[in-house]
Structure 1
Amino acid sequence: MSAEAGLDKHTPAPRIAGSASGGTAREPRSYPAGRFLRGLLRDPLAALEEVSRSSGGEITRLNLGPFRPYLVTRPEHLQYVLRDNAPNYRREGLMWKPLSRLVGEPSGADPEWPVKRRVFQSLLTGKSIETFTDEMAATIARAVDELSERVPPGTPVDAMDALTRVVYRAILRIFIGDKLSLADADRLGEAIMVATTSSFRARMLLPFVPLRVPLPGDRAFHRAVQTVDDIVYPVVRKARRMHDQGEHDPTRDVVSLLLAARDENGAALDDKGIRDGVVSLFVAGTETTVTALSWLWVVLAARPDVAARLQDEIDTVVGTDQPTRAHLPRLRYTKMVLQELLRMYSVGWIIPRVIADDDVIDGVKMHRGAPMIVSPYLTHRVEDVWPDPYVFAPERFAPGRSRHRFAYLAFGAGPHQCVGSVFFTVEAQLIVATMMSRLRPKLHGSPAIEPQAGLTLKPRRPIEITFRPVEGR
């Protein structure tokens, strides 16, 4: 049996409303609060993982008093929730409420989302990416060289800080052009990092608490959002003035595209709509890449065999050159490592839903208004879908391997699937190939670093790395 063996990707959708066995739907298995509430407050990720393991993939309802979410982890159930009957499972509650304070309403509640999505697709689809891949590669190379010059050899540096600078320079050059300075880009990156780590854990654990009631981290969150507004709104307003005055802007950056975009009735986005679009693209474009690549150094320290094979491929394919679009098809193992990295450290670890109307999934009653926890992190650890799920095995993603299409949720699935999956792969391949061809990054300290759930899957303590320049570079 291959590492991907499990449910076939053509598995039929599960039984739905009115088709439960015997004509009668059953209540879901209930998991009482007393069995895991203390663990949930201390380490929600580990507590949910224990519930998922004990349920064996069965749909379970967590009894937390006023908050009673369903936990759904199996791919065939997720196909129904995320695709087959997606309108009944809305993007509301849990992380969507606190996230909306940073990037605006979630797509399911945002009437302007179709306009923004079309703009993002025009920037992030394969053919568009091909036009700027080499420019992005050159920007990444300059950022890595700058990192090498700024950090003395052997000096530990926070991996997330270092990678944020590299990623932001790539995104700034491609998505914003000259509309934002490097200094403001660094400030924006720091503010977004604070906003996505400060109060999210408290808000997600206590989703029923109104936003007007202060929780730990709220003050830092509000300061960070104000900084984001102070940086982004002037860019939007200046671009609008130029647009309204008829000044031609030849660029295809996200601000210009959002300004020019129209909905089906010909209406344009207002300043807040453009601001939210820019910030949501920055959050999506940086969080996954920075967080995933920070975990990479932990994995390579724990798996020297993977590190050696990865380094050998980069040395063979790239050598002393600057990575370009032409190198990407031959960086096959690099791509497999990145895919497995997102399986094991699912950056977007949770994609919650709220049930709009009563329903039945595989004979289980789904009650209207109830929240639902869908977690790629948990689905990626279902043992009969992913054998030996705690083993880092890039070969799971070797060409020709197959799995249920909803077994791998690194970028979500269904109509709300992230449009940036190709962009992430290209950007991450370029960053890894550039860093490992010009430097020798190495984890500083023990690889025993546990993940912690917030908006994304962050390390519980900082991941520090050191650099040693490659001779002759």
Structure 2
Amino acid sequence: MTTVAIPSPPGLPLLGHLLEMNRDMPGFLQHAARTTGPVSRVRMGPLSMVLVADPLLVHDMLVRRPQEFAKSWRTARLIQGHVGDGLLTREGGEHRRHRRLMLPSLHTQRISRYGEIMVGESRRLADSWADGQQVEVVEQMTQLTLRIVGASLFTVDDDGAEVFAAVHDFVNSLNAYLLSFGLLPGWLPTKTHRWRKASVARMDRLSYELIRQRRERGGDGGDLLSMLINARDPEGGPALTDAEIRDELLTMFFAGHETSATALTWACYELARHPEIAEKLRAEVAEVLGERPATMADLPNLPYLGQVVKETLRRWPPGWLFDRTPVAETELGGHTVKPGQVLFFSPYVIHTDPAYWPEPEEFRPERFAPGVEIPREAYLPFGDGPRICVGNRFAEAEIALVLATLVPRVRLEPVSDQPVRLSGQATIRPRGGLRMTVRKAG
């Protein structure tokens, strides 16, 4: 094994890079990757983590040697207190079992059934906006995707107001905890810790009530909850317990709307900044759909829409930060890494690497045009390997159908010409939100 020391960007005594990470974590990691090298050590107070910025090394971890790397203790500390032991945190055989049980609910045929809900909720949102109204796009997209997840994956019976409010509070408390980096022990009665416990307790009560009601009703409601209750492992594993179902529900409530809402926010931002792209997209949708609503079957006939979605996920990958830890001492990029060492990688950093993406900060859907070669290892908006996001097809379809519904009906114009600042929470968002002005079509 080599013993070459892992380089580190200049930092402060004791604090290391903590202040820079708090100020602009995505920007700091991007700068560290470009100035320090493909593998660099990042220090946050007493914590030391290793940033892996070379796409080939990340591919090696995720695809070629996934059995040698597990989710780190950092993941457990930061999110298990919220989502429990769902797909995000499980390992080994239990992860594979849960994935087998989850996949049928997110099969293409099932997603096609969800498409009508995606389009209907998008039309309702567009109809609720008035010409000239200013809207907070992050908030609007969050509420939209939450309603889509609630209706298509969990079939909330009434208007869902209580459940949606609880999920919104749950996700916000998780984001606040992520921003604290989990540096303080959970037993300390800080404001963030109290908020976390209260939001999780509220979601527990609602989740177990949803499970109880569905078990009493029986049958297959065509949604994720019904399928998890009725699922039987083809390889003979046990059925899921209520606690396991609860954990997957909270995982999907979080991951199933937060990432799509963020991607849609950035799509609106880029279309507003590039009216020529928006007009080209609008023309394609009009030619293919006319006045009728979009369906899943239309998506293959809307190639430019697909390019816009993929370029949005390249430029602004919602799942922007992941981690691993070696199972045993191993070598990575000429450095020895030991068990317990937190390794993390960022699709945001990789997707803006000029060695793979010319002028990476420019928004160019044509990067994904037919015949254009894509750097396979340098495009991973949903991760890669056996832990690639189980809901990736659902998310891409949702983003495409929402855009195909909104673009013909409204134009969103920036309220300010000031560049956005980034906030690296569970997803990468515009710091302070994104206000835009609605212009109704026609």
Q: Report the secondary structure of 1:203's partner residue.
A: coil
Q: CA 1:162–1:283 in 2, change beyond 3 Å: closer, same or farther?
A: same
Aligned to 2:228: 258
Whether 1:212 aligns to 2:187 is yes
Q: Report the secondary structure of 2:162's partner residue.
A: helix
- Distance in 1 of aligned mates of 2:348 and 2:159: 36
Aligned to 2:136: 158
Q: Report the secondary structure of 1:114's partner residue.
A: helix
Whether 1:200 aligns to 2:178 is yes
CA distances 1:235-266 after superposition (whole Å, capped 9, x unpaired): 11222334xxxxx4132321121112245554
> 1:361: Cα distance to partner?
1.9
> 1:289: Cα distance to partner?
0.9
Aligned to 1:146: 124
Whether 1:51 aligns to 2:22 is no
Q: CA RMSD in A?
A: 2.4
Instruction: Name the % identity.
Output: 28
Aligned residues: 436
> 1:93: Cα distance to partner?
3.0
> 1:416: Cα distance to partner?
0.5
- Distance in 2 of aligned mates of 1:314 and 1:48: 38
- Distance in 1 of aligned mates of 2:232 and 2:72: 26
Q: Report the secondary structure of 1:78's partner residue.
A: helix
Aligned to 1:39: 20
- Distance in 2 of aligned mates of 1:164 and 1:378: 24
8 Å CA contact 2:75–2:89 kept in 1: the answer is no
8 Å CA contact 1:331–1:429 kept in 2: the answer is no
Whether 1:357 aligns to 2:338 is no
- Distance in 1 of aligned mates of 2:338 and 2:173: 33
Please say which of residues 193-202 and 109-118 is displaced more in the overlay: 109-118
> 1:381: Cα distance to partner?
1.7
Counterpart of 1:393 (choices 341, 356, 364) is 364
- Distance in 1 of aligned mates of 2:323 and 2:295: 37
- Distance in 2 of aligned mates of 1:296 and 1:67: 35
Whether 1:88 aligns to 2:58 is no
Whether 1:27 aligns to 2:5 is yes
> 1:25: Cα distance to partner?
4.8
Whether 1:457 aligns to 2:428 is yes
Q: Given the two structures, how large is their TM-score scaled by the length of structure 2?
A: 0.91
8 Å CA contact 1:301–1:447 kept in 2: the answer is no
Q: CA 1:351–1:214 in 2, change beyond 3 Å: closer, same or farther?
A: farther
Q: CA 1:26–1:399 in 2, change beyond 3 Å: closer, same or farther?
A: same
Q: Report the secondary structure of 1:94's partner residue.
A: helix
Counterpart of 1:417 (choices 388, 391, 407) is 388
8 Å CA contact 1:346–1:377 kept in 2: the answer is yes
CA distances 1:292-325 after superposition (whole Å, capped 9, x unpaired): 1111222122222222222222222223211122
Return the letter of the residue paired with 1:52: A
Return the letter of the residue paired with 1:351: F
Q: Report the secondary structure of 1:426's partner residue.
A: helix
Aligned pairs for 1:436-447 within 5 A: 436-446=407-417
Please say which of residues 259-268 and 430-439 is displaced more in the overlay: 259-268
Aligned to 2:213: 238
- Distance in 1 of aligned mates of 2:283 and 2:73: 46
Counterpart of 2:340 (choices 369, 380, 383) is 369
- Distance in 1 of aligned mates of 2:43 and 2:192: 26
> 1:436: Cα distance to partner?
1.3
Structure 1: gaps of 5 or more residues: 1-17, 19-23, 243-247
- Distance in 1 of aligned mates of 2:417 and 2:92: 44
